[in-house]
Amino acid sequence: MPRLRLIIVWFAACLSLLPVGAWAAPVAIVAAENFYGDIARQIGGSEVTVSSILQSPDQDPHLFEAAPSTARDIAAARILVQSGIGYDDWMGKLAHASKGGADKLLVVASLAARKDGDNPHIWYDPQTMLAYAAVLTERLVAADPAHAADFRKRLADFQASMHPVLAKIAALRAQYSGVPATATEPVFGYLMDAVGLRNRNAAFQVAVMNDTEPSASDLAAFEQSLKTRAVKLLVYNSQATDKLADRMKTLAQQSGVPVLPVTETEPEGMAYQVWMMNVLDALQRALAQ
C-alpha cells in the first residue's frame, strides 16, 4: 500500500475514534445585549461563538442604530437573543428580515410572561435570567446534541453561581422591605421589587424612560420627596442621562439622599452574576447610610 494511502487510512481511523460532533462548527449566537451574550458564553463554552451588539456601559442603548455588519452577523447566526417588549425592537426587525431568522429568535421577555407596557429592563430580575439560561441550554442541545452533557453541566454551574445573588436579595429584603426609594427611570425596578423597596414617583420614571416630559405635579412630587428625605435612596441611570435626571441627582445629593448609580449594560469584562452582586453590595451600602 503506498505511503500516502496508509496516511489517509490512519487519519480516517483516528477520526472514527473522536466523539460524534467533535469537528462540528461552533454554534453562532448573536445577542442584542451583552448580559445575554455573557450567559450564552458561560453555558456554551468553546462550543459556541457569541457576538453581543450592545456591549458598552458608556453607550446609550436608546440611541443605537444597527450597522450593515449587524444584519450580516444575524443572518449567519444559529441562535438570536432579543430582550423584547420594546427595548430592542430593531433586533426583531432584523431577525424577521433574515431568512429563517424568526425561527432562530429567542425573546427573553416571553419566557417571563412580560408584555408590552411592562418595565423592559428585565435583566435586573435574576429569576428571568435563570429562565433564559435554561431555555438557551435546550436550544444549544438541539443545535449540537453531541455536547448536550457539557451544556447542561455549565447550566448547573451557572445556576449554582447565582445562589449567592439570590441569598443577598433575601437578606436585603429581610432588612429593608418597605423602605421608600425612587429612581430617575425604572432601570433598576425589578431588583427594587425583589428587595421589597417601595418605589415612589413611578409616573415620573416612566415619562423619562419614554422620552416624554413629566407632568408638573409629578415633577413637584419628585422634588419634594428628595427635599424632605421622604425617600431613602435615589437610583440614577448613569448610562442614559439627561438634564432632568442630572437635576434630580444634584438635588438628592444636596438633600443628603444617597444616590445609587446603575447602568443598563453589563460592565465590560464582568460576568452577569458578579455584576448583580456588585450592584446589590452598592445598594446595601447606600441603604446603610
Domain boundaries, the chain: 27-161, 164-288
Give which of 269, 267, 289 is closest to 279, Cα–Cα: 267
What is the CATH T-level fold of the domain 27-161, as seen in this structure? Answer: Rossmann fold (3.40.50)
* pLDDT at 172 > cutoff 70: yes
Question: What pLDDT is attached to residue 10?
Answer: 44
Could you check whether 27-161 and 164-288 share the same CATH topology?
A: yes
Residue 151: burial class (beta carbons within 10 Å; 0-12, 13-18, 19+): buried
Please report the pLDDT score of residue 14 as a whole number.
Answer: 44
Q: What is the pLDDT of residue 3?
A: 52
Pairwise CA distance, residues 193 & 188, whole Å: 9
Q: Is 216 helix (H, G, I), strand (E, B) or coil?
A: helix
CATH 3.90.190.10 correct for 164-288: no
Specify the pLDDT at position 141.
Answer: 98
Cβ neighbourhood burial of 212 (10 Å; 0-12, 13-18, 19+): exposed
pLDDT at 6: 43
Three-state DSSP state, 185: coil
At 211, is the pLDDT very low, low, confident or very high (cuts 50, 70, 90)?
confident
Query: Is the pLDDT score of 227 beyond 90?
Result: yes
Map residue 25 onto helix, strand or coil: coil
For range 46-59, the mean pLDDT: 88
Mean pLDDT of 68-97: 93
What whole-number distance in Å separates Cα of residue 271 and Cα of residue 173? 24
Q: How many angstroms separate the first and last alpha carbons of the chain?
A: 83
The pLDDT value recorded for residue 67 is: 77
Rounded to the nearest 10 degrees, what angle do helices 148-161 and 34-44 cross at?
A: 120
pLDDT interval class at 62 (50, 70, 90) = low
Please report which confidence band the pLDDT of residue 80 belongs to, taking 50, 70 and 90 as the band edges: very high
Angle (CA) 149 30 38, round 5°: 60
Does the pLDDT value for residue 249 go beyond 90? yes
